[in-house]
């Protein structure tokens, strides 16, 4: 059961710049490791991360095998209105996870 750890301030002033921190559980298997038998362990990574703020995309990332396991991504945005942040992680083997967090903006 992949867990996501999201950190968004619960409250902010209109126009305030806030930091959003995200942590998603994922092995990020590089595709460069071998079993003792010599077979390659196939790549299995998150390839894309998106954040939407009240429906509009505010941040997106392309991830490669060089991103460490349990990807930690932080970024900033301006608090404009109360509402919801929606996060989506998409990856190999049909990996798809979402999470959300609310914010109240005065």
The footprint of another protein on residues 24-83 (CB under 8 A) is: 25, 27-28, 30, 32-38, 41, 53, 57-78, 80
Residue 10 in the binding site for another protein (CB under 8 A): no
Which one, 18 or 90, has the nearer CB to another protein?
A: 18
Contacts 24+ apart (CB under 8 A), 15-18: 15/78, 15/79, 15/80, 16/78, 16/79, 17/76, 17/77, 17/78, 17/79, 18/76, 18/77, 18/78, 18/79, 18/103
| Binding of residue 98 to another protein (CB under 8 A) | no
| Contact residues for another protein, defined by CB under 8 A | 1, 3, 5, 7, 17-18, 21, 23, 25, 27-28, 30, 32-38, 41, 53, 57-78, 80
């Amino acid at each position: 059961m992949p867990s996501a750890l999201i950190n968004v301030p619960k409250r902010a002033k209109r126009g305030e710049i806030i930091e959003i921190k995200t942590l998603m559980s994922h092995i990020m298997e590089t595709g460069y490791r071998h079993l003792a038998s010599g077979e390659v362990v196939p790549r299995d990574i998150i390839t894309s991360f998106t954040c939407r703020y009240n429906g509009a995309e505010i941040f997106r990332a392309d991830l490669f095998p060089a991103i460490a396991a349990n990807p930690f991504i932080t970024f900033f945005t301006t608090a404009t209105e109360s509402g919801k942040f929606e996060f989506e992680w998409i990856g190999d083997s049909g990996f798809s996870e979402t999470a959300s967090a609310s914010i109240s903006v005065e």
